[in-house]
Amino acid sequence: MEEVRVFCPATIANISCGFDVLGLALDSVGDEMVVRKTIKKGVFITKIDGQNLPLQTEKNAAGVAGLALLEKSNYPGGFEIEIYKKIKPGSGIGSSAASSAGAVWAMDYLLGHPFTKTELVTFAMEGERLASEVAHADNVAPALFGDFTLVRSYTPLDIVPIKAPEELYATIIHPQIEVKTSDSRKILKTTLSMETAIKQWGNVGGLIAGLLQNDYELIGRSLEDHIVEPIRSILIPGFDKVKKASLEAGALGAGISGSGPSIFALCRGRDNAENVARTMKEVYVNIGVEHDIHVSKINHEGVRLV
């Protein structure tokens, strides 16, 4: 095999109570990427379609992630990458993670799977370091494993895959505004009260139990965030209205995707997710916010061949 074409899923990180630890992969929202072996050593981005992103390897998340893999491999050649970008950078659904995860998954595939998934996560994290200055795993882990993932620990890296119930869908609305990642980080507090922290880990436990036991109501009750959402939502136009409308339309829960500005809702079944999408859209039409909207099943495998 000399060339593969892969689907690289968009992802939702910071799922409500699971700030910095819980993410999920989407099934029908994502980029495509063609990766082919080259005789020349190195990683070469030969084409980026759909977005204006740097072609230089060292300035591109896929390039940097690929170089990290190549460095740990005994493969004497290199790779060419074409990126067909559909996820908008800065939307909060893991644009750089899709590129990073897709690149390393495809390279590992072409080399005959020399690496574990967790090793692929560590390579893809280098792409995240380039994109956001922090080598975080909460988008690249679900992009590579599929379903939900829990980043239990970074030292050592411990990724816990959590299977999503079959009927779980996500609805995402992306308001076309720019929130600087540095602003959404600066606005966060660095300490919190024990009381609030206890609520948060009660909800993390509830969410994991709900997912693993197919208990949709428990998933819904656990989608609470007493720490980050009250602060970051200030930067997202109409957040409270969109969330309220989603819940009234039957969503299990809703929150900020990644560091925003996208807002996600989790729903039981496609019909409900579509219904929630219509309601979210209505809110943004009424207050005059340009937006994209996505409805997707949860992805059960992560990056995959097209």
305 sits near its own copies (criterion: CB under 8 A): no
Among all chains, which residue has been given the structure tokens 């992103």?
53
At 223, list the tokens: 């989608």
Catalytic option among 118, 119, 181, 274: 181
Strand 291-297 relative to strand 22-38, pairing:
unpaired
| The binder of its own copies chosen from 66, 127, 175, 206 (CB under 8 A) | 206
- Catalytic site residue 128? yes
The two three-digit tokens of residue 105, written as one number? 């998954």
Name which of 110 and 164 has its Cβ closer to its own copies. Answer: 164
Distance CA 55, CA 48 (A): 7
**285 forms part of the interface with its own copies (CB under 8 A):** no
Classified as helix, coil or strand, 35 is strand
Concatenated DSSP letters for 113-162?
A: --S-HHHHHHHHHHHHHHHHSS---TTHHHHHH-SEEEEEEETTEEEEEE
Interface characters, 109-148, with its own copies (x: CB under 8 A)? ----------------------------------------
Q: Hey, which residues between 12 and 71 contact its own copies (CB under 8 A)?
A: 17-22
Please indicate whether residue 190 is annotated as part of the active site.
Answer: no
**Of 166, 182, 201, 278, which one interacts with its own copies (CB under 8 A)?**
201
Q: Measured between alpha carbons, how far is 139 from 29 in angstroms, rounded to an integer?
A: 14
Q: How far is CA 196 from CA 17, 186, 206, in A?
A: 11, 20, 15
Identify the residue among 134, 192, 234, 306 touching its own copies (CB under 8 A): 192
3-state DSSP assignment of residue 55? coil
Residue (27 or 138) nearer to its own copies, CB: 138
Provide the annotated active-site residues: 128, 181
Residues making contact with its own copies (CB under 8 A): 17-22, 150-153, 158, 160, 162, 188-195, 197-209, 212-213, 218, 221-222, 227
